[in-house]
Structure 1
Amino acid sequence: MQKMGNALILIILGLIVLIFPLLGVIPFSVLTGVTVLFLGLGLLFMGVASMGESAAMGIVEIILGILAFILGLGFIFNPALFSFIAALFVFIAGVFLIIAGIVAIATKTIGSRWTGLLSLILGIIYLIVAAFIKNPLYLGILIGLWLLITGIMMLFQKD
């Protein structure tokens, strides 16, 4: 019964996010921003604390802490930055898949050609998705679809 309730909540949330796509992006952006902000603060404190042991390590931690702190604030106050970074990671993964697919197709192993073709196709799909999720509206739609599909799949899943 609990699984049915969770599935219905996911379906309702998915429909709400599909109607209002930015409602799906803003919570992810803020939660990620707060996490990265705390990471930055932790790195800053660790950098200052470790300056006595290793000045080089302390400076590196302080620089990374400042970058994480700025990125965390950016995620909190600008969901478009979150969408851009997400699109960048998906784009990089797509490029890696395309390269791996080309390498696998070029090898002489029997099963690797199909694997390479699949990697190539998935890489192209990743590039297309990356082009769309630069816009927070489309990222919100993808999040809504994910919630909706997960909820529907939970309804039909057997224990």
Structure 2
Amino acid sequence: MELVSVLSVILGILIIAFPIMGVIAASDLIGLALLLIAIILLITGVSIMDYNTSGAILDYFLGIVMLIVSLIIIFNPNFFPFLAEILLYLGGIFLIIVGVVALINNRQGRFGFWIGIAGILLGVIYIVVGTYISDPIVLGTLIGVWLIISGILKFLDR
């Protein structure tokens, strides 16, 4: 679990750093953010398989779906206009789903509840900010913040 915590914090910092550099297009930024969350979900699924099989399967499923969506967004630029209306909400929707999954998977942990609540709250904030601002820097930063919070709380929960 320590590896997942450290990886989550590192990926969160990377996600926050990429929008600041401003070299990635909005679709690539959102695709990268979803890709990093998918990686965390897949690693979490592996790490909890021994004691929470149903939660691990849920993490695998959500991780694979997010992996596929992120790769389509990153590598198919023609797909971006098709998703333009919902793309800004996609990250928020996934954060909310990941938050609910974290609530289900981490019932026994001291901070698992707060990881889930952070995901749900940041997902709602992401959708609201995406509606009114639609700035990829802010949106990517929100995903990075969730990854950092999640990593720190998982580390404290060991």
Is TM more than 0.5 here?
no
Give the alignment's TM-score, normalised by structure 2: 0.39
With the length of structure 1 as denominator, give the TM-score of the two structures. Answer: 0.39
